Structure 1
């Protein structure tokens, strides 16, 4: 073992055990690496022993089992020797004797610490079933989840009679249908009062559970479990239990905490910042506000450079970063929301670009409109020249009925006008004055259809660390907007000036972006390719088609330098938007 992983000291024994179990599982003998020649004092020529210096199949006679031994010699003089053998094949009589479904259905429980992990667990189970090479026994699957997994706070249960029915209900749940027959969703924290009588009277609890088991009232049992009552599922079975099978394990939140020394500025604020784009709370009795300080070393600035008139190429904060900044500020400032709310940001207008040539402070101010319950926000910076407003708009929380879902296979079939070479696309951006570094090159494929396109996005490797802190990750969202070029730019004659975001009628956030996404772009209702200002609708979904972000009425304009920015004109335009005189879509025409 030492040649494979090094000297493990006290962990040498368990490391050897893990190696043997893996060798038994794969039925292969792993090599001892870095072996050149045998010690001259060891004579193995006339023995059955040899040093295995290559990977080879672990062959045994049909009537035998694979076996291996571990020897661990401790510094204290304590020695241990363990023999490990592969398990005997299960006898078919045992399998046939195990209880099968009896017409009342089978209970399939799932649980997790957080709602996000519960949804991920359901998604991984669905993928496992769909990708299985051999048929899956429903009872074995259910039994494994019942007794082989810890029951956690967030709970989801299915009462089904077949693998096909389970697949259908998992798919419906992931598509946003949270309530349907045979599906039970609960949370232990919300169920304390309803189950308090069970906590006080254990005899009553056991009597009710035993009666439900005897009468095979599985739906009622599952409902109690979903509300937080822990059950001994083994009582559903006789002496011979179903077998446990290999299923996906717990989907831990993949948030890294390793310090990246190459990003000293970002990591210096990680421990204290509220969010990568929202560093400190500067609220007082007069206003709700937050402030951030950007140095230009951040990936969303370092790899996002725009040519601004006579000033040359500058580090410019991506337009999508303001959306995430507003979302994060509202989340921190708003009271606890009802379950599964949708944040809608509307009448969003990008004004003066934020150029970072030296450390720069940016603030966001929030206020509440008591008449329509909207949240007003304004993102601005201040310097010797005065106050510069970068964007402004409204936001509100809305109840979620069902998450929109796209049929990706159907959309892919509609993209009949060919694919765009991604390297050529980013080369065209360079010509336009949009210089995207590795952190902002998230388009992996782009396929054109009739007045629409479908772009596949992937979070670049260089920004995976810390990505869990974002819901609207700047790299992914900016890549979605980059795809607009497929509809509004003539690739044969690209414009000599960069296009930057200007107005957005509406944005709804259903869930956080994932590492792999698809963006479906098409013209907004009433907008045409020949219009002076083109407006687009954009849906950004995960690889299963569940929409995470929905944008309507997005438009772009030619970037202006700070010197040419008409602050008086845009100030008047902002006032007209905030008073409802014009909409963001009308403002795009005026701008």
Structure 2
């Protein structure tokens, strides 16, 4: 991840400095505010572990909570990532800004797996949607609906090509439209967007993530950006979803279990 990284004084993590024109701020606005995407908290935690403990290979994250947003209110924003060993194969992480804890979770060592038993949403859902749905939204309609909710995405996070819905399930294709490929944060943020797109027409609040039961990395994080991917989403309740992200070859990349969202309090 771009930005200036400095080791914290106690050696237990890093301070990252991002400019307010960084795409993570300028391409992600909620109610007019430049808001650091929630998925970047996870990218920061994974990046900090990779720098400080290169032999620690996370297989999944759990107990993730987003407590408050990080807003760009100055030319530069400083974010602290604290890493705290929590037992064999476990590291707690905290994301802090302005002396406040903004989010936290646990990184866990585990063998990555493409086993279908570990998918949040099975590949069979794709066939169900293709065979039964007549509910189709092009990307332009999806992002117009998000803008109506007060969420405006720039090119880095505007990668949904279309969404098909069938009852409480959805298929979303993510693509490279204008030379901007899908990096880790863009891929995961668009997957979270797909979790909101399944409810288009039902709500108009600006929704933001607040909890995540588990995120499984079915493969090690790619060291290059992707051209295309697709997301299968299943809504568990009005504010909770499961989702799995696949590459073009139908290989699962990551699964998110029990993603919780709630209306933003930003005005």
Q: CA deviation at 1:322?
A: 1.1
Counterparts of residues 202-281 of structure 1 (less than 5 Å)? 275-276=1-2, 279-281=4-6
Mapped pair 1:528 → 2:215: no
Structure 1 residue aligned with 2:40: 321
Cα separation, partners in 2 of 1:276 and 1:459, compared to 1, 3 Å: farther
Q: Deviations over 1:276-323 (max 9, x none)?
A: 26x324145x4421121111211221111101xxxxx11101111111
Q: Secondary structure at the match of 1:396?
A: strand
Mapped pair 1:293 → 2:17: yes
2:247 is aligned, of 535, 542, 553, to 542
Q: How far apart are the structure 1 equivalents of 2:52 and 2:175?
A: 31
The alignment's TM-score, normalised by the length of structure 2, stands at 0.86
Q: CA deviation at 1:502?
A: 0.9
The alignment's TM-score, normalised by the length of structure 1, stands at 0.41
1:483 is aligned, of 194, 199, 202, to 194
Q: Secondary structure at the match of 2:39?
A: helix
Q: Which has the higher strand share?
A: 2
Q: Secondary structure at the match of 2:13?
A: strand
Number of aligned residues: 257
Mapped pair 1:442 → 2:154: no
Q: Which has the higher helix share?
A: 1
2:90 is aligned, of 368, 374, 378, to 374
Larger Rg: 1
Cα separation, partners in 2 of 1:476 and 1:402, compared to 1, 3 Å: closer
Query: Is the Cα–Cα contact under 8 Å of residues 125 and 232 in structure 2 kept in the other structure?
Result: no
Q: Deviations over 1:257-284 (max 9, x none)?
A: xxxxxxxxxxxxxxxxxx326x324145
- Structure 1: unaligned runs, 5 residues or longer: 1-274, 308-312, 563-591
State the Cα RMSD in Å: 2.4
Query: Is the Cα–Cα contact under 8 Å of residues 129 and 169 in structure 2 kept in the other structure?
Result: no
Mapped pair 1:518 → 2:243: no
Q: How far apart are the structure 2 equivalents of 1:401 and 1:547?
A: 9
Q: How far apart are the structure 2 equivalents of 1:415 and 1:328?
A: 41
Q: CA deviation at 1:476?
A: 2.3
Q: Deviations over 1:134-191 (max 9, x none)?
A: xxxxxxxxxxxxxxxxxxxxxxxxxxxxxxxxxxxxxxxxxxxxxxxxxxxxxxxxxx
Structure 2 residue aligned with 1:425: 142
Q: Secondary structure at the match of 1:336?
A: coil
Structure 1 residue aligned with 2:119: none
Q: How far apart are the structure 1 equivalents of 2:126 and 2:237?
A: 26
- Structure 2: unaligned runs, 5 residues or longer: 117-121
Structure 2 residue aligned with 1:461: 178
Q: How far apart are the structure 1 equivalents of 2:264 and 2:149?
A: 11
Cα separation, partners in 2 of 1:560 and 1:508, compared to 1, 3 Å: same
Query: Is the Cα–Cα contact under 8 Å of residues 350 and 501 in structure 1 kept in the other structure?
Result: yes
Q: CA deviation at 1:460?
A: 4.9
